[in-house]
């Protein structure tokens, strides 16, 4: 029996060694066929695969289109479902968050908030990593939150900072540093309706198209930015949308949607009539004001922008000539390519 066990161990070692030495071209073909959740297991198989996955992580995640996400309302057994555009569904059980409800999404983390005790839990359903932030000092309901998670090297401790606004209250911007157990505050006499981390900076939006930059250190503050040719009616349905390279502000209340690209080089807004945005697909989440703009590379997108996402059956788009962009709106999207990194803030 001892000899048999020894032979089994030796054979397992040989098999593992064989798989770890696969040609990288073959390994790439295999990896690109995986689902997002399988990619995590793939990267943990062995040292060489982990190194290969890390080197090609951005390419893999960039190839994955947004997914629909549903979360059950059961307070004791919460289930999270992610579904890709091919109809493949992934289910995962979430920790017992009690009566806390999902109020948003940031960097792949689902944001849970409960009015009692009014604290925040963040959980990444792909990596299963979680973060906790203490009781929120401002009385708020489950509605109207917008929050982002950023990493700032200038912040002591973990450097992870959770930044929160309530779109329906004039109470400024709140922020909490992970594991520090406290909240800081930047006061504001006006209502902030959206936040976004973009190319190392945090931007805040006020109704009417007023743009601000928020700094966390050395002293937290808001600074108004003068932006030319940028005006949107004073309503509360404006939001930031980023393509990675560009930052947009979209008013999704009126149809056709009003879209501005923010040109930080000349500090001006460029409306959709001035710049074509037809190459982008805009994914808008109704419940949490968290969306992205991506540039699909498939041939079907060029022929019929709706064909790639017909299985979702939950979008609203425009194919008339003046409305160049394509807009896909549902309750909540999940963006795989954002789930493995936290936005960096340089201060």
Among the listed ranges 163-177, 182-196, 295-309, 331-345, which one has the minimum average pLDDT value? 295-309
Looking at residue 12, what is its pLDDT? 45
pLDDT for res 216: 93
- Residue tagged 């074509």 (tokens): 276
Which residue matches tokens 């060694």? 17
Averaged over 203-208, what is the pLDDT?
90
Q: Chain-centre distance of CA 41, in angstroms? A: 22
| Rounded CA separation 242/194 (Å) | 13
Most confident of 2-6, 46-50, 94-98: 46-50
Judge if pTM exceeds 0.85.
no
Least confident interval from 106-110, 181-185, 308-312, 315-319 = 315-319
Q: Is the pLDDT of residue 86 over 50?
A: yes
At residue 262, the pLDDT reads 94
Has residue 304 got a pLDDT over 60?
no
What pLDDT is stored for residue 83 in this prediction?
87
Assess whether pLDDT exceeds 60 at residue 158: yes
State how far the Cα of 208 lies from the Cα of 269, in Å rounded to an integer: 13
pLDDT band at 323 (very low <50, low <70, confident <90, very high): very low
| 265-285 pLDDT tens trace | 999 998 876 566 767 888 888
Q: Is the pLDDT of residue 8 over 50?
A: no
Give pLDDT, residue 139: 64
pLDDT for residue 316: 46
Taking the C-alpha atoms of residue 145 and residue 166, their distance in angstroms, rounded to an integer, is: 5
Q: Indicate the range of 8-22, 80-94, 97-111, 122-136 predicted with least confidence.
A: 8-22
The residue that leads in pLDDT, 150 or 24, is 150
Q: Residue 255's CB: how many other CB atoms inside 10 A? A: 11
d(CA 336, CA 124): 11
CB 313 within 8 A of CB 182: no
Q: Taking residues 16-45, report their average pLDDT.
A: 80
- What is the average pLDDT value for the chain, to the nearest integer? 81
Spatial contact of 228 and 273, defined as CB atoms under 8 Å apart: no
- Most confident range (mean pLDDT) of 116-120, 190-194, 309-313 is 190-194
pLDDT at residue 9 in the model: 47
Distance between CA atoms of residues 295 and 313, nearest Å: 20
Whole-number pLDDT of residue 25: 87
pLDDT of residue 314: 46
The percentage of residues in the chain with a pLDDT greater than 90, rounded to a whole number, is 28
Q: Is the pLDDT of residue 236 over 70?
A: no
Residues 217 and 175 sit within 8 Å (Cβ to Cβ): no
Q: What is the mean pLDDT of residues 316-329?
A: 55
Question: How confident is the model at residue 317, as a pLDDT?
Answer: 45
Going by pLDDT thresholds of 50, 70 and 90, the confidence category of residue 169 is: confident
């Amino acid at each position: 029996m001892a000899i048999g066990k020894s032979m089994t161990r030796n054979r397992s070692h040989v098999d593992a060694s064989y798989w770890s030495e696969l040609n990288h071209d073959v390994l790439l073909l295999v990896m690109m066929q995986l689902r997002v959740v399988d990619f995590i297991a793939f990267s943990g198989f062995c040292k060489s695969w982990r190194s290969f996955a890390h080197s090609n992580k951005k390419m893999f995640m960039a190839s994955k289109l947004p997914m629909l996400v549903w979360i059950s309302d059961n307070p004791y057994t919460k289930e999270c479902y992610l579904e890709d555009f091919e109809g493949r569904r992934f289910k995962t059980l979430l920790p017992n968050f009690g009566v806390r409800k999902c109020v948003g999404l940031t960097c792949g983390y689902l944001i849970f908030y409960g009015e009692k005790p009014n604290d925040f839990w963040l959980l990444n359903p792909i990596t299963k990593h979680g973060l906790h932030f203490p009781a929120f000092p401002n009385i708020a309901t489950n509605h109207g939150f917008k929050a982002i998670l950023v990493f700032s090297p200038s912040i002591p401790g973990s450097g992870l900072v959770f930044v929160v606004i309530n779109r329906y209250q004039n109470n400024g911007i709140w922020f909490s540093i992970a594991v520090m157990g406290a909240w800081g505050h930047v006061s504001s006499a006006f209502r902030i309706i959206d936040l976004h981390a973009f190319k190392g900076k945090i931007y805040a939006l006020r109704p009417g198209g007023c743009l601000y930059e928020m700094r966390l250190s050395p002293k937290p503050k808001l600074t108004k930015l003068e932006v030319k040719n940028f005006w949107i009616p004073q309503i509360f349905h404006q939001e930031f949308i980023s393509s990675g390279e560009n930052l947009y502000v979209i008013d999704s209340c009126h149809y056709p949607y009003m879209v501005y690209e923010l040109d930080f080089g000349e500090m001006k807004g460029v409306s959709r009539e001035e710049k074509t945005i037809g190459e982008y697909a805009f994914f808008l989440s109704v419940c949490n004001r968290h969306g992205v703009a991506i540039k699909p590379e498939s041939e079907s997108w060029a022929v019929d922008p709706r064909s790639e996402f017909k299985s979702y059956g939950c979008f609203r788009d425009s194919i008339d000539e003046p409305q160049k962009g394509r807009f896909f709106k549902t309750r909540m999207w999940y963006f795989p390519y954002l789930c493995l990194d936290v936005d960096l803030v340089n201060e």
